[in-house]
Structure 1
Amino acid sequence: MNFVNEFQGKKVIVTGAGGIIGGWIAEAFAREGALVCLTDRSLERIENRKASLDGKGHLALAADLTDAASLIAFADHVAKAWGAPDILVNNAGIYPSGFLLDISFDDWDAIFDINLRAPFILSQLFAKQMIAAGKGGSIVNISSGAARKMRTTVVPYCTSKTALDRLTKGFAIELAEYGIRVNAVEPGFAAGSDVSALTQDHVSNVTASIPLGRASSAADVGAAVLYVSSEAAAYMTGATITVDGGNSIGSQVVFQAKKKAL
């Protein structure tokens, strides 16, 4: 999709920018001429990512998404450097595994702090900046098919993403009068990175079960986030776009078995 310089000079915040999906999103906006503020807990990681982006004027600011004071300081830093952002992408998330009978209280809290509480706090802080600037804006939450399909050993993650979808709709309805649109994107399976390493066997097994037969790519995720942030989606708010190769609708292995049975 050609956005015809629509994002040129726009100010975009991407949380979890040190990870694979956050990096893809940051790169997509940078290629379109946007100024990108990358945030993650590791300053070194996002500094390296910033150095790889097209263009100049990007920011790399470390923040602890589990700490409200750190998020407030981060929002203040952005305001001083840029003024109100145009787009906020709440991408950061964690995916620890464990059965409900075994998961610790601290792990439960960490999942909800990063996957739900941080998007709430940052959306509130930056929405207030957008409102004060009187220019509207876009908030995009990175959700997951796990919001609709329960998965054994990652129930807290699934629950946090279901809540994030409801939070997306809540902010959408309350911020609409200010011209701020709030939507969610559900990316597909990503094959891992230095931040979230996966074995080749695991990648192969998961990819084989996806109806379209491949993992998600930078182009898939980037295009979806750019679209919901663009004027082409100006009448879209409170929506969730699924870009996962059909993974959330069923397993290709099951489809093949049924086909053989026929």
Structure 2
Amino acid sequence: MSGIDLSGRVALVTGASSGFGERFARVLAAHGAKVVLAARRLDRLEALADELGRDKALPVAMDATDAEALVAAVEAGEQAFGTIDILVNNAGIPDAQRAHKMSLELTDRVLGVNLRAPWVLSCEVARRLIAAKKPGRIVNISSTAHYRYDGGGAALYAVTKTAIARMTEALSVEWAYANINVNAIAPGMFVTEMTDGMFERIGDPRPGLARQRVPEPEGLDTSLLYLVDPASECVTGAVIKVDDGQSARMALK
């Protein structure tokens, strides 16, 4: 989608220090957007901002469990570049444990990062867009765990990703009048920092996948760009599954 021009747009990407978030930030910046890079690991954000150019990238340290830090990240981005009109709620953590073995601390952290933070950020960005009378695009990152959970651990992760999908649908209705489109991407298994540890535990997953490969994050580029481009003006409340055929193969077993 090389023809997409995001000049004049301001994006906030959470979890931008690695994986999908880093890729999303690179793609948005490459197409002309100013990008607020938000995550806990400031050293990585600083390096990415240097690479992208400080005139188009702002690194902001943000703990997704801290509501004040979430609002502060939006404020910092607005002060640097103007009203944020693209929000990518990408930050997330796995639980990788049986539900009954999870500590309350881990339970609260998974709920805080995966669900509460996207809710708080979406509301903060929408509030400012409505006040400025500007349209906007919110893209939430769900997961194919929303559709299927095999019982092998990470039940709460699946629950939060299902909640993200429903949040996407509900908020798309809530803010339709303000021309704020809210959509979600539900990736399957991709090569990321999060899946590296999983591969170490379960071994090579490729033989069991439909195309016997684990895609790279670049496979989500076109879905993201479509959802933030004017071409998708009438698309809101959608959850787009991007899984390289993995779910279809699993369903046949």
Q: Classify the TM-score, shorter chain.
A: over 0.9
SS at match of 1:139: strand
Residue 101 of structure 1 aligns with which residue? 100
Residue 136 of structure 2 aligns with which residue? 137
Give me the TM-score of the superposition, normalised by structure 2: 0.92
Residues of 2 paired with 1:239 and 1:227: CA distance?
Answer: 12
User: Alpha-carbon deviation of 1:199?
Assistant: 7.0
Q: 1:186-217, CA deviations, whole angstroms, 9 ceiling, x for partnerless residues?
A: 12322233x76337666863223221332222
Q: Is the 8 A contact 2:62 2:69 kept in 1?
A: yes
Residue 223 of structure 1 aligns with which residue? 222
User: Alpha-carbon deviation of 1:121?
Assistant: 0.2
Aligned residue pairs: how many? 252
User: Alpha-carbon deviation of 1:49?
Assistant: 2.0
- 1:203–1:233 Cα change, 3 Å: farther
Q: Which range moves more in the overlay, 76-85 or 31-40?
A: 76-85
Residues of 2 paired with 1:217 and 1:172: CA distance?
Answer: 29
Residue 66 of structure 1 aligns with which residue? 65
Letter in 2 for 1:127: A
User: Alpha-carbon deviation of 1:8?
Assistant: 1.9
Residues of 1 paired with 2:62 and 2:244: CA distance?
Answer: 33
Structure having the higher Rg: 1
- 1:52–1:251 Cα change, 3 Å: farther
Letter in 1 for 2:79: K
The answer on 1:78 being equivalent to 2:77 is yes
- 1:230–1:237 Cα change, 3 Å: same
Residue 213 of structure 2 aligns with which residue? 214
Which aligned pairs between 1:158-173 and structure 2 lie closer than 5 A? 158-173=158-173
Residues of 1 paired with 2:211 and 2:166: CA distance?
Answer: 28
SS at match of 1:60: strand
Residue 258 of structure 1 aligns with which residue? none
Q: Is the 8 A contact 1:12 1:35 kept in 2?
A: yes
SS at match of 1:95: coil
Residues of 2 paired with 1:94 and 1:200: CA distance?
Answer: 16
Residue 126 of structure 1 aligns with which residue? 125
Residues of 2 paired with 1:153 and 1:203: CA distance?
Answer: 12
Q: 1:61-88, CA deviations, whole angstroms, 9 ceiling, x for partnerless residues?
A: 0111101111122222222222211200
The answer on 1:185 being equivalent to 2:171 is no
Q: 1:145-167, CA deviations, whole angstroms, 9 ceiling, x for partnerless residues?
A: 00111132100000001111111
Q: 1:101-125, CA deviations, whole angstroms, 9 ceiling, x for partnerless residues?
A: 2111111110010000000000000
SS at match of 1:251: helix
- 1:204–1:34 Cα change, 3 Å: farther
Q: Is the 8 A contact 2:15 2:91 kept in 1?
A: yes
User: Alpha-carbon deviation of 1:51?
Assistant: 2.4
Q: Is the 8 A contact 2:191 2:217 kept in 1?
A: no
Which aligned pairs between 1:193-208 and structure 2 lie closer than 5 A? 193=193, 197-198=196-197, 205-208=204-207
Segments of 5+ residues of structure 2 without an aligned counterpart are none
User: Alpha-carbon deviation of 1:223?
Assistant: 1.4
SS at match of 1:241: strand
- 1:165–1:235 Cα change, 3 Å: same
CA RMSD of aligned residues (A): 2.1
Residues of 1 paired with 2:45 and 2:252: CA distance?
Answer: 38
Letter in 2 for 1:172: S
Residues of 1 paired with 2:81 and 2:179: CA distance?
Answer: 20
Residues of 1 paired with 2:97 and 2:203: CA distance?
Answer: 23
SS at match of 2:73: helix
Residues of 2 paired with 1:146 and 1:200: CA distance?
Answer: 17
Residue 155 of structure 1 aligns with which residue? 155
User: Alpha-carbon deviation of 1:144?
Assistant: 0.0
Give me the TM-score of the superposition, normalised by structure 1: 0.89
Q: Is the 8 A contact 2:39 2:45 kept in 1?
A: yes
User: Alpha-carbon deviation of 1:97?
Assistant: 1.1
Residue 29 of structure 2 aligns with which residue? 30
